[in-house]
Amino acid sequence: MLDLAHKATLHSMVCQAILVLICLLCYGCGGLTGAKFVFDDTVAIVKNRDVNSLPTNWTAIFTHDFWGASLLSSDSHKSFRPLTTLMFHCEYALLGLSAAHMKFLNLLLHCVNTLLMWRLIRSLYVPEVSTARWAILSAALFAAHPIHTEAVSGVVGRAELMFGMIHLLCLLLTVANTGRLGPQTGGLIMLLTAVGMLFKESAVTIPMSCVLLDYFQNGYYHLRFKDQWSLVRTRISYLFYLLGTLGLLTARLWWQDFETPTFKEVDNPVAHNEHVLTRGLSQQYLLVMNIWLMLCPHWLCYDWALGCVKLVTNIWDLRLQGVIGFYSIVLVALMNFRRLPGMMLALGSMIIPFLPASGIICVGFVIAERTLYVPSIGFCMLSIYGFLYWYDCSTENTHWRTALRIFLMLLFTVMMIRTRQRATDWLNEEQLFKSALQVCPDNAKVHYNIARLATDTGNNTKAFQHYHKAIQLYPNYESALMNLGNLYREHGQLSTAEEYIRLALQAYPAFPAAWMNLGIVQSAQGKFDKALASYEKALKYRANFAVCYYNMGNLYLEQKRYAEALHHWQHAVAINPRQPKAWANILTMLDNKGLQDDALRISNQALQHLPNDVSILFIRANVLGKLKQYTEAEVIYKRVVELEPHNTLYHTNLGVLYHRWDKTQEAIEAYRTAISISAARATTARENLSKLLKRLEREAQVTQR
């Protein structure tokens, strides 16, 4: 008995080690080297003040959506995930804003979920297959499946990973209490569901999954339908789950003031189509597309919005054959659910967690691969169940069983290679967008994101090409039209810029950023009154628009209305203290007015929000130098030079400081460094160095006499 116990323990440890190893081979082992924040990570983490601001703003975390907007704002997507945001914030506070460590934690959570799934299936009672083999093979497929790459390699996938972990824990609780599901277990599951909903809204489906599992584990499916219905109606725990779920949904909607999110057509063209038949058929086809991505994860794309999936407009569309096939499988499963309960359990475990993303409510995406993380638990169970059932039915044909084993090994190998390849795509945006173009060449959003990235990296030729392509594919793409206008403005083509921005406003008249950018173009054209009217229009659609107030300040500065300019810059930083250009303009104006003490006081406030902003540090150092506080000014100048070592101006001003301070040798070195970086731009450094050397020469001649 002792030997058997030791063997069982050893077998269990080996199984778990293999599963963790598969996870590490797919995502770890150097796969996180050079990882960066990509796509949605930028909005939800990098630009989200709820995540990267200290001290912790508890009110903001629990009243804002996942993307940092107020939950009651008309712009909010209503995706309320405060515990996920809080996790990101804690990581930022402890370890800084690093994509690598955040993705590593995602990998650890995926390992935990894989082990929980193995433990869950191993504890099930499914007589028609070996649960030990079902558990290890299903968990291995789950660990290696490429569909999980977005959830694991994208930091925002943390919401799915936490939902998956709580989902599996609740199912384990249900299995552990099969036949004796008391109020304590039910209460704990509802509590975990409530916590799960604060990580991801889809956790509301957890009680339904628990009911399904309890139904099959208790063997109720053996009873006649009439007896089943009578028993289900009298199960207090099922009623408790129903009422608890309704209560959680009501509380969740109350927290967002019972408002529904408003999505644009670019986010989900299916939901915005005016024809009921087209919407219905397209949504059914999308269900099959999601299953196909799990079945054959070759075509994977970070965004399936525009141009990836063509709408199904009539019943004669051949793509509907897949829909017929899917419902045929569901029908077969229903007809044989007493004989093959494991198949029905796996199918239900796939469908139930997917319900919130299935189109029964309006969502802001066409297909989102990370939403398949939890439904894929059921898919992996279903796939391996079918394989084992087929394998066990071939006991007399040894060659066929050998062929099936070889096929399974090849399948796992291909899956792991594909996952590893896909994880590499998610390391940075350039690779991610490039991979999407291969899958969806007609996706306007992919071209838009490639153009945006090209603009950020200074490749304007590529940016123009892809912005035009995005607009060609979707002429009413307001963001692409506006950004293309901004690009033309930066190249001095103001009339063309105004034309494209006005096209953006035709597509979306309540577009505050477009009104602001129109004002910037009009200001550059000298049309100050029209620019002011455009800025006011922008503020009409977004009252607390910090960047717009900053640009209004610039407009007043051009008109030499200094008091109004200063007021608007101050308003901008009051709304959003992370506005370095607004702070810099305020400090420059105070310095020019001779209000150095005020400039120092304001710069202290600015540095509390932007401690490493070079422009603010540079102005503070200049002010300290004018006040002859040379020691402190030197410390700040050196910090500025350390942050941007190849900036000619910073080395020049450090030289000026040493020059005034009579530190001759240090001044010469600073001037020469500035000249070595860019001789053409270092005019002041050359002149000052020449004067300094001539002065030293004269002093040397006087000394010799």
Check: CB of residue 171 under 8 Å from CB of residue 210: yes
What was the pLDDT predicted at 364? Answer: 65
For residues 68-100, one letter each, b for 16 or more C-beta atoms within 10 angstroms of the residue's C-beta and e for the rest, the string is bbebeeeebbbbbbbbbbbbbbebbeeeeeebe
Residue 70 φ/ψ, nearest 5 degrees:
-60, 135
Read off the tokens for 44: 């939800």
Check: CB of residue 203 under 8 Å from CB of residue 197: yes
Residue 64 φ/ψ, nearest 5 degrees:
-105, 160
| Residues 286-301 pLDDT 10s | 888 999 999 989 889 9
| Residues 463-482 pLDDT 10s | 999 999 999 999 999 999 99
Map residue 662 onto helix, strand or coil. coil
Whole-angstrom Cα distance, residue 334 to residue 70? 45
Angle in degrees, CA 688, 691, 695, rounded to 5? 140
609 vs 40, 54, 573, 589, CA distance in Å? Answer: 24, 9, 10, 20
Report residue 31's pLDDT band, with 50, 70 and 90 as the boundaries. low
SS3 readout for 509-521: CCCHHHHHHHHHH
Tell me which of 15-19, 92-96, 264-268 is least confident.
264-268
Tell me which of 221-230, 375-384, 441-450, 492-501 is least confident.
221-230
**One-letter amino acid identity for 329?**
I
SS3 readout for 383-419: HHHHHHHHHHCCCCCHHHHHHHHHHHHHHHHHHHHHH
Whole-angstrom Cα distance, residue 247 to residue 86? 24
Whole-angstrom Cα Rg for the chain? 31
| Residues 110-120 pLDDT 10s | 999 999 999 99
| Residues 170-189 pLDDT 10s | 999 999 887 666 678 889 99
At which residue do the structure tokens 């433990």 appear? 119
Read off the tokens for 456: 């950020």
